[in-house]
Amino acid sequence: MKIIKAKGFKKNVIELLESEQLPVNDLLHDLENFLVVSENNIILGTIGIEVYGNYALLRSLVVKNEQRNMGFASTLISKIEEMAIGKNIMALFLLTETASEYFSKKGYHTIERKDVPYEVQQSSEFSYVCPQSAVVMTKQLR
For residue 128, pLDDT beyond 80: no
Neighbours of 17 (CB within 10 A): 19
Domain around 51: 2-140
pTM summary value: 0.93
CATH code of residue 76:
3.40.630.30
Q: What is the pLDDT of residues 32-46, one digit of tens each?
A: 999 999 988 889 999
What is the distance between the alpha carbons of residues 72 and 100, in angstroms, rounded to a whole number? 18
Domain count, the chain: 1
